[in-house]
Amino acid sequence: MISACLFDLDGVLVDTAVYHYKAWRRLAAELGFEFTEEHNEALKGVSRMASLDILLDTGGVRERYSAGEKEEMAARKNGWYVEYISRMTASEILPGVTSFLDELKTKGIKIALGSASKNAGLILENTGLGGYFDAVVDGSMVSEAKPDPQVFLLGAELTGTPPAQCVVFEDAEAGIEAARRAGMRSVGVGGSPTLRKADTLIPGFVGFTFEDLTKRID
C-alpha cells in the first residue's frame, strides 16, 4: 500500500543541476582549475560543504585552504547559485511532474519534499511547486545528509505516514540508499547507472501514472 510519495527536488522535480554546475565551475575557474560536467556528476545529491571538498580534491588543492576559507568559498558559490535560481520560473519544472503531482493530490496520496538543499524554499516559491506539498523537509532541517535516512523519516513523520507506506523518488545514489535505510521503497529517476539499487527505474515523469507506480511497487 502506498500512502505517501516523497520527492527529492534537484534533478527530480526541477533541473537545477545545471545551475549548481555553473556556480561550482565559476568557483573552480577563480581558484585556477577546470571543473568539467563529468566531475560535476559526483556532486549530485551531496551537501554543499561535501561538494566543495570534492571540487577542491578535483583541483588537487583541498589542503591549501582553512575551514574559514572554505566557508567563504561555499558562500561565494551559493551567492551565484541563488542569483541563477532567483530567475527560475514554472517553465523549469521537469516534464510530466505537475500531471503526476496533480494525480497524487486527486487520489489523496500525501506529498512530501526531502531535499538536501537549503535553497529548496526559494525554488518551490519561484516555480509555484510549493502548493503541492503536505510537508517540506530541506537541508536546513536535518543534521545528517543523505545517505542518512533522516530527511525522509522526517517527511514520513510530518505527513503521518509509516515508512513502509512511503515511496521515494530520487536521482542520486545517496538518496536511494537513504530511502533503503529509512525502510522505504524507491524509484530511481533518470538514466544514471548508479541508481541500480532502486526498486524500480523511470526515465522521467512523462506519461507516468500512479497506476504504473502501484504495478511496479505495491
Secondary structure of residue 217 in the 3-state scheme:
coil
39 binds, among Mg ion, ligand BG6, none (CB under 5 to 8 A by kind): none
Residues in the interface with Mg ion (CB under 5 A) total: 6
Which of 5, 10, 25, 167 binds ligand BG6 (CB under 6 A)? It is 10
CB of 108 to ligand BG6, least distance (A): 28
Is 138 considered catalytic here? no
Q: Outline where 32-189 has alpha helix (H).
A: 37-40, 48-58, 67-86, 97-106, 120-127, 150-159, 173-182
CB of 211 to ligand BG6, least distance (A): 29
- β-pair partners for 189: 202
Is 218 considered catalytic here? no
2 near 109, Cβ under 8 Å?
A: yes
Which of 10, 138, 173, 177 binds Mg ion (CB under 5 A)? It is 10
**Residue 115 near ligand BG6 by CB under 6 A:** yes
Cα separations in angstroms, 157 against 34, 90, 114: 43, 29, 12
Q: In angstroms, what is the C-alpha Rg of the chain?
A: 17
Residues 6+ apart with CB under 8 A from 30: 76
Secondary structure of residue 132 in the 3-state scheme:
helix
25 near 35, Cβ under 8 Å?
A: yes
31 near 25, Cβ under 8 Å?
A: no
6 near 163, Cβ under 8 Å?
A: no
Looking at residues 43 to 62 of the shown chain, list those that interact with Mg ion (rule: CB under 5 A). 45
Which of 96, 139, 183, 204 binds ligand BG6 (CB under 6 A)? It is 139
Looking at 8, 57, 212, 218, which residue is catalytic?
8
Which of 39, 44, 110, 185 binds ligand BG6 (CB under 6 A)? It is 44
**Residue 51 near ligand BG6 by CB under 6 A:** yes
Q: Please identify, using beta-carbon distances, which residue of 45 and 149 lies nearer to ligand BG6.
A: 45
CB of 134 to Mg ion, least distance (A): 20
**Residue 43 near ligand BG6 by CB under 6 A:** yes
**Residue 8 near Mg ion by CB under 5 A:** yes
Q: Stretches 40-48, 56-64, 94-102, 129-137: which one binds ligand BG6 (CB under 6 A)?
A: 40-48
Q: Which residues are catalytic?
A: 8, 10
